[in-house]
Amino acid sequence: MVYSTERGLVCPTCRLPTAKCRCGKEEPAPAGDGIARVRRETKGRGGKTVTTVSGVPLAGEALRNLAKDLKRRCGTGGTAKDGVIEIQGDHRETIMTELSRRGFTAKLSGG
């Protein structure tokens, strides 16, 4: 490409203007063994019970959509942050069946 001011700064990978470039904006899939671990936690939460799901081989928007569907299935609130889905309350069995139904390998973790 010859220097041109017509398009402004250009991404060297995809050759699109930097405002339209999508390179590197997609979050990478988390590294791991691909097994979703479901556990119940109360530590550091003021005695409140939270069910956490970690190790799901999804990232970004797909992980947030899965969290949204799990929250709807359990009928409670929650969040997805740092690759971990947190659902309020003890819903381990419901989450295990839902993840299995969706084709994920899931196992109970913790005590």
Query: Contact, 63 vs 28, CB < 8 A?
Result: no
The rounded radius of gyration (Å) of the Cα atoms in the chain is: 19
Place of tokens 């899965």: 66
Fold of 35-108: Translation Initiation Factor Eif1 (3.30.780)
Query: Contact, 91 vs 51, CB < 8 A?
Result: yes
Instruction: Give the mean pLDDT of the chain.
Output: 84
Domain map (residue ranges) of the chain = 35-108
Q: pTM score, two decimals?
A: 0.71
pLDDT at 13 over 70: yes
- Choice between 8 and 79, residue whose per-residue pLDDT is larger: 79
Amino acid sitting at position 99: L
